[in-house]
A and B are shown apart, each in its own frame.
Chain A
Amino acid sequence: MTLAVGHPGFMSPSGVEIAFVLVGIATLGAALVTVTTRQLVHAALWLVVALGGLAIEYLLLTAEFIAWVQVLIYVGSVVVLLLFGLMLTRAPIGRSPDADSGNGWVALAVAVAAAATLVWVVVDAFRSTWIDLGGAAQGSTKVTGTVLFRHWVLPFEALSVLLLAALVGAIVLSKQGAPARRAASAKLGALSGLGALSKRKTGES
């Protein structure tokens, strides 16, 4: 950790800083398109760009294991899940006029106010803080693995239980619709005098 003494100024950026800022601008632009576009599938695809840009930022910060986990989990599975969700809710291909709700201006005001406040605080606090990226990589797979399985084993195991619970919960939620609908249709059939038909149906199933 190096403090304010003798750090380079903002006017003479190093190569890694230039790369970080360029990738950061691309990431921010992709994120902005993600939250403003009216084409739902395009929003998911721009989210891929934003998350991939963040993976590059992790690489520039020498956290390579996090970067590859980001690519594997976010770009690989979360975006695919989101696309499946869009398709299963029959999202329209092309422009959908009701993608945004009516309170866009309120949301914009809140977001701009939060951004201004937080940027002011962060810049004021960390204006002269310098990250030393030299030396051995901070987040290589070896370092991360050693730390994770030496100091963080118990949270890691608890997290695997949480993942299992989430998996079971998702399956239960997805399976819930079919029996409820069958029971409802059976009740409706019995009410309208078609009890024999519904009994035959339930007997079949």
Chain B
Amino acid sequence: MHLAYPAVLAVLLFCVGLYGVLARRNAILVLMSVELMLNAVNLNLVAFDVWLRDTLHAGQALTLFTITIAAAEIGIGLAIVLLVYRNRGTSDVDKLTDLADTGTLPDAGSASIAPPTDNPADTAAEQALRAREQTA
């Protein structure tokens, strides 16, 4: 078999995954695209291992390691996505912009802007505390 076939297929799969990572908005769809990219790399590893007839079979061992790490990554990633969904009510990566640089300096004088926290209930509690202090 020509080595060009698996290599080109791996390249195309990687670029499909790249498009998915850049274009998708739902965090779980982004994770699926990352899986596609990892699989493209796995195909390359297996093809080059078979081509080189490596006595250590480094390509196949590394493929097994990549599959395991991808499983760990998807477990942790989904736990994080679920935590974000529970705290924010969305898994939309475009809306998670608390750390984004908006280009405008925060106005120090206005107390109406609540500092971003992980928990919306916490924010409500802090605002209630501040309102109580101001009235007292």
Residues of A at the B interface (CB closer than 8 Å) are: 1, 7, 10, 14, 16-17, 20-21, 24, 27-28, 31-32, 34-35, 40, 43-44, 47, 50-51, 54, 57-58, 60-63, 65-66, 69-70, 73-74, 77-78, 81-82, 84-86, 88-89, 91, 96, 98-101, 103-104, 106-108, 110-112, 114-115, 118-119, 122-123, 126-127, 129-133, 138-139, 143-144, 147-148, 151-152, 155, 159, 162-163, 166-167, 169-170, 173-174, 176-177, 180-181, 184-185, 187-188, 191-192
Contact = CB atoms under 8 A, between A and B. Distances in A.
B80 A184 contact: no
A54 B42 contact: yes
Nearest to A185: B121
A91 B25 CA distance: 13
Contacts of A77: 71
Interface in B22-52: 22-26, 28-29, 31-33, 35-36, 39, 42-43, 46-47, 49-52
Contact of A173 (B5, B19, B79): B79
Nearest to A158: B65
A170 B108 CA distance: 38
Contact of B121 (A7, A62, A138, A181): A181
Contacts of A101: 23-25, 93-94
Given A103-B22, A122-B8, A138 B61 contact: no
Q: 4 smallest A-B Cβ distances: which pairs?
A: A35-B20, A107-B22, A166-B72, A111-B19
A166 B13 contact: no
B29 A43 contact: yes
B79 A169 contact: yes
B53 A151 contact: no
Contacts of B22: 103, 106-107, 110-111
B97 to A, nearest CB: 12
A188 to B, nearest CB: 5
Contacts of A192: 128
B33 A35 contact: yes
Nearest to A65: B60
Given A34-B33, A126-B7, A184-B119, 6 more contacts: A35-B29, A61-B46, A74-B35, A129-B51, A173-B76, A174-B82
A14 B129 CA distance: 76
B102 to A, nearest CB: 17
B5 A28 contact: no
B74 A81 contact: yes
